[in-house]
Amino acid sequence: MTSDDDDFRIGVPGLGRAAVAPALSPPPAVRQEADAAAPELRPGETELGRPPQVPSDLAPLSTHDLAALKLLDDEQAARDIAEAELLLASDPTGLGWLGWFGSPLAFAFMLGMTGVIGIFLFNQTASLLQALAAQPEWAQYVGYSGLGLFGACVLYSFVRLMVLYVRLRENRQLRVKGIKELSNRTRLRWLAAAKSTEARNQIEMYLRTYPIDSEKDRRALAKLGITDEAIARLKAVRLELLDHDRFATTEQWFARFRDAFQSVIDEAADARTKYWASRIWVVTAVAPNTVIDSGATLFYTFSMLSDLCQLYNLRAGRAGTAVLMGRTFFNAYLAGQGTEWEKLAEDQYDQLFNEAMNAVGVGVSANVVGKIVGKVGAKVTTGYLNRVLLIRLGRYATRLLRPVTKD
């Protein structure tokens, strides 16, 4: 028995169903004409005949836009690096507020003071030679020999300082406070990490090159006040600092370097400054001539600066060096002008002594003693003034030579 479905044949009607015509495929020529008549769509168009509505902000970037964005990124990165350099680099010279004029002004000051001290020493030396020419022949030989020996000592101290300056590496002082400020800024944290690593590598190189390994280096440091115990402590701290896994943060590493390694050098530098200051006090107090005062000031200042550079194994920068030399020549000039101050101080001491003696009832016999006390007091006062100036210069040089500063 069959159903209507079984009789589903082409062209045969069934119950409730019309005859279905067969579906014939068009000829090949007709298909080609239909395909050719179909419209071609351009990129971004649809069959609706209208391109999609895309906001201009979301449109693809052109080559010009990409180049402009790269230029903006480079400029921002340059500003970030400049800001980081200002935060990390210290300015121990005290000329930071002068900007780009700091170094030229420092060199101008140095040249000016060199000319002043040169003219002063020339005039005083000419006067001293004229005074020696009026002395007996044996006194002339002694005076000329002493003056030549004194000049050779001053020249030796200057040449020694210049040789050390040529050999030593320039100090690039780091600010620990600047690293902390840089790391607190979200926009510059990536740069803070890079700069901290660079600064740490710089101090690690300083630790590796610091001369404490050979016997010759230890003897040289011993002459500058660093004992064998201090050298052993420096070696232990150096091994500790070169261990990268010992410290959790860079700030702890810098604090350890400053408190355990650099502090030992700071103590020796302060002791060396006072050593030379005590000697300039004695020599300028008993010196009979202004040339001796100025020459002794130059000798002791050059010797002190050489010792400080050798202790830190660094030299100051260009502006710092100019300021140091300018202040050195200025101190030498002030030491040569001490004769005028001595007269004023001598009169004041003499007057004070006489008033004190009259107050206790001592009469005219105290006048001679007052003259002696006034002269000795004036010499001691000028010598002490030279000592204060040398200590101030030594502390300024120490601030220039420190590898790391907290502020």
pLDDT exceeds 90 at position 310: yes
pLDDT band (50, 70, 90) for residue 397 = very high
Per residue in 339-355, pLDDT (tens digit) is: 666 666 666 656 665 66
Q: What angle do CA 33, 38, 39 make, to 5 degrees?
A: 140
**Closest to 87 in 3D by CA, of 215, 199, 241:** 199
Per residue in 276-302, pLDDT (tens digit) is: 999 998 888 888 778 888 889 999 999
Q: What angle do CA 58, 62, 65 make, to 5 degrees?
A: 90
Which residues, other chains included, contact 145 with Cβ-Cβ below 8 Å and sequence gap of 6+? none
Sign of CA dihedral 211, 305, 224, 90: negative
**Closest to 339 in 3D by CA, of 390, 278, 287, 295:** 287
Please answer whether residues 170 and 401 qualify as being in contact, where contact means their C-beta atoms are separated by less than 8 angstroms. Answer: no
How far is 215 from 13, CA to CA, in rounded Å? 121
Concatenated DSSP letters for 194-249?
HHHHHHHHHHHHHHHHSS-SSHHHHHHHHHTT--HHHHHHHHHHHHHHT-TTS-SS
Per residue in 92-137, pLDDT (tens digit) is: 555 555 444 556 777 787 888 888 888 888 888 888 888 888 888 8
What single letter denotes the amino acid at residue 13?
A: P
pLDDT at 345: 60
Please answer whether residues 171 and 403 qualify as being in contact, where contact means their C-beta atoms are separated by less than 8 angstroms. Answer: yes
Stated as kind and residue range, the H or E segment containing 291 is helix 290-312
Per residue in 19-38, pLDDT (tens digit) is: 455 555 555 555 555 555 55
Mean predicted confidence (pLDDT) in 60-87: 65
pLDDT exceeds 60 at position 51: no
CA distances from 220 to 212, 217, 223, 270, 402 (A): 9, 5, 5, 17, 19
